[in-house]
Amino acid sequence: MPVTHFRVRWPDAGESRCYSPSSVVREHFAPGERYARDEFLRRAREALGIASERVRARYGFACSQAMDQLAEIERIAARFEPGAEVTVLAFD
């Protein structure tokens, strides 16, 4: 499982470098794409949930770091209106 980092720009122009224990996030986000906040959250929940389950399947336990990342994404996203756009900048 290749660890994958992805960078996002929030509606206030702030940026975050996000972690996934799996490259599955590449199936849910595309660099340069903008997503309404709620759609971004839906995709992040799905991708990081799948990534965590892949860790569980391989090692016998879920990935707490993926769930911590999701909690951080949700915390930041809560500051913005549902239609505000989040841009996926790149995969590192």
Rounded to 5 degrees, φ, ψ at 53 are -70, -30
**pLDDT computed for residue 14 by the predictor:** 98
Cα dihedral value 55, 59, 62, 64, nearest 10: -90
- Counting as low any pLDDT under 70, the low residues of the chain are 1
Can you tell me the distance from the alpha carbon of 89 to that of 92, in angstroms, rounded to the nearest whole number?
10
**pLDDT computed for residue 1 by the predictor:** 67
